[in-house]
Structure 1
Amino acid sequence: MAQLHDLTAIEQLSALRHGEISPVELVAHYLGRIARLDGELGAFVEVTGDAAVERAEALSRTEPLGALWGLPFADKDLVARAGVPTRFGSRLHSDFVPDTTADQAAVLDEAGGISLGKTSTPEFGLTGYTETLIGPPARDPWDPRNGAGGSSGGAASAVAAGLLPLAPGSDGGGSIRIPAATVGLVGIKPSRGRVPFASGLDGPGGLAVAGPIARTVPDAALLLDVQAGGRPHAFATRAPHSGPFLDAATVPGASARVGMTVVSPWDDAEDIRLDPDAARAVEIAAALLQDAGHGVDAFAWRPRGYPEMFTTLWRMSAARMALTDAQLELVEPVTAWLAREGRALSGADVLETLGGASVFERETIAAFAPFDAVLTPALALSPRPVGWFDREDAARSFAQQVQYAPYSSFVNVAGLPAIVLPVTADASGHPVSVQLIGRPGGEAAIISLAAQLERRRGPMGHPGIWDRDARLP
């Protein structure tokens, strides 16, 4: 018998609006699952059960208005919520309780969502794995011996395990797509400028944007609509858009031309080895798209000068953190290394890197311009065991992250939209994902293609921890 968490987020919303379940019942269901299962997963760093129940009771006395009315979610631990500890994945902020709520959380509140707490993230969201000094690692519900990726690792673990119907994340170098692909979910990194309160336009290189993590393409599109429309734009630059993204996920679009490549910008600088299952997933996705009437063509892409440029951009991002020398002794070695390396950069280094990023953006957009979307692997390797990433040798850790996810960060530098979704499974039954990269402002096109892939792929099943309730005596 299907349980509430078996329903998609959109199906849960329908049940809420038709009075088949109440917000109180839905919140209680998810809080119960968190209490039973999260001890094994490390998806949450803070559960705000009392506040969630109080809000659910208040919403139950109102009309079902708002795109997320009565639907649970959780804030990433980089996002401030008034009165709730916000640790940024760091022991430096173990006692920090903000008195204001950030737009990333407030927008979902205004849409009728109910926060159940904070999902785990690596320190300051700097790494592609979620292992910290302040709590347990975020784990993959398909195989809890493995990590859930990062930096939105807790959010992805929670959604994959049925502890949340969907979750917001942020992505500065793959932080939505890496964990989503690791645990077999849908994750969307929007175009630079798409989401007003996390546009990327106010940071070095324009890297970090907000986006959704969900089980299905329509669920992810629903949350992206809320995020993209929740605030007026603060910058003159924004991605063009027409119509809800949810429409693109439910109404098939016109025939598209899709480019296909397994080349990454790191190939000449790091030991990139593509797992056979990841290569096979790209071939399966290409065949499914062709069966749907789309043209798929392999194309040659030879990006130039990327590794050194991105490494410097990442150091620049860390250098912005206002950490004293004493505090640098208390943070993770990777954090301290990035911050110190960033502070050692000269003004000429910074200007040269920003100029190089602009050139890379233009060249990548030009190379991808003949296509409505570009298909790549989502990850190069299968999910990594907890502890696989070297947390003491920062340079080695950085190289390992590149080897695991070489197809992620360049999309941020180019400012393009991208979506990851599972299309097949390996021999153990674990999902294997691909990535579709769109044109500037081209979220609707890649959402449409991903939804068609999802329908043709068929059901993927659930991770073992998902339906444990059904197996309990």
Structure 2
Amino acid sequence: MLERSRGRLPQRWSLGAPGDGEGSFLGAAVRGEGRFQIGVLTASPWDEEYDIVLSAEARASLDEGTAALAELGHGLEEAALPPSAAYPAAFRTLWQSGASTLPVEGADLELLEPLTRWLVEEGRRRSAREIVEAAAWLSGYERAVIAAFSGFDAILTPTLTMPPRPVGWYDLEDPERNFEQQVLYTPYTSFVNVSGLPAVSLPLSTTREGLPMGVQLIGRPGGEAVLLAIGAQLERRARWQRRHPPQW
């Protein structure tokens, strides 16, 4: 499907389909060729709403990724997000409004997990004006992110801020706390979805407990081939395909 969806639209919207460059996406992944300009990003659009902290393990994985990319000959420099103060409220509004359409009513709402029930109930309290304003703001944010990243072939971020969370870490009783925990754990992914940009998560290192840690590469609209090429280069260098649990 990715091959068949090729095409190019000269505009700063994410609906620009995968680029129409030479060769296939499989070829880009197999060859793993090219040297690219990569922006390194540690800021998140949630920073003004929550205290986002990058753990030592996440920082080490990001540092390993930047060092590997530099050794492979890629250019690296710091990247920045556009102003994002209104992002949390707009995102929350649309996420809640989406949940509000679930076909669940009355007593059946009590069968939902607290987080899902909270999203549904809050979404049904939103006015049409609030939803339209949030959608319009996020549409503008999409264009602003694409413009901010336009000087790079790809953007490098941590995938997660912490190692994989243990069972029971998420608060199952307080939905707003659960939402906050999800943001604290994965603050670098939602804005990529909002912007409609291609992205890939790449494992690069392991914690002392043997848990994988990785980085996220974000591409330009239609930039899947570049992400596949860079990913192939990092995979070869890290020899990740040779790693496996000790019991194997």
2:94 to 298, 313, 331: 313
Q: How does 1:48-87 map to 2 (within 5 A)?
A: none
How far apart, in 2, do the equivalents of 1:320 and 1:444 lie? 36
Q: How does 1:190-209 map to 2 (within 5 A)?
A: none
C-alpha displacement of 1:238: 5.2
**Alignment of 1:430 onto 2:211:** yes
1:240 to 18, 30, 35: 18
2:224 to 434, 443, 447: 443
SS state at 1:322 partner:
coil
Structure with the larger RCO, 1 or 2 (CA within 8 Å, 6+ apart): 2
User: Paired residues, what number?
Assistant: 237
Q: Give the aligned residue type for 1:251.
A: R
How far apart, in 1, do the equivalents of 2:94 and 2:37 lie? 32
How far apart, in 2, do the equivalents of 1:322 and 1:292 lie? 51
Percent of pairs identical after alignment? 45
| TM-score for both structures, normalised by structure 2 | 0.89
Report if the CA contact (8 A) 2:149-2:155 is conserved: yes
**Partner of residue 401, structure 1:** 182
**Partner of residue 151, structure 2:** 370
How far apart, in 2, do the equivalents of 1:333 and 1:299 lie? 37
Report if the CA contact (8 A) 1:418-1:446 is conserved: yes
Report if the CA contact (8 A) 2:2-2:18 is conserved: no
Q: Give the aligned residue type for 2:18.
A: P
Q: Give the aligned residue type for 2:19.
A: H
1:463 and 1:230, CA in 2 relative to 1: closer, same or farther beyond 3 A? farther
Q: How does 1:315-394 map to 2 (within 5 A)?
A: 315-394=96-175
C-alpha displacement of 1:300: 3.3
Q: Give the aligned residue type for 2:157.
A: T
1:374 and 1:391, CA in 2 relative to 1: closer, same or farther beyond 3 A? same
**Partner of residue 292, structure 1:** 72
How far apart, in 2, do the equivalents of 1:230 and 1:463 lie? 37
SS state at 2:152 partner:
coil
Gaps of 5+ in 2: 8-14
How far apart, in 1, do the equivalents of 2:53 and 2:82 lie? 17
**Partner of residue 66, structure 1:** none
How far apart, in 1, do the equivalents of 2:235 and 2:3 lie? 25
Q: RMSD of the alignment, in Å?
A: 2.0
C-alpha displacement of 1:463: 2.5
1:302 and 1:464, CA in 2 relative to 1: closer, same or farther beyond 3 A? farther
Cα offsets for 1:416-462 (capped at 9, x unmatched): 00000111122223221000000011111111111101111123621
| TM-score for both structures, normalised by structure 1 | 0.48
SS state at 1:329 partner:
helix
1:449 and 1:395, CA in 2 relative to 1: closer, same or farther beyond 3 A? same
Gaps of 5+ in 1: 1-226, 468-473
How far apart, in 1, do the equivalents of 2:220 and 2:163 lie? 28
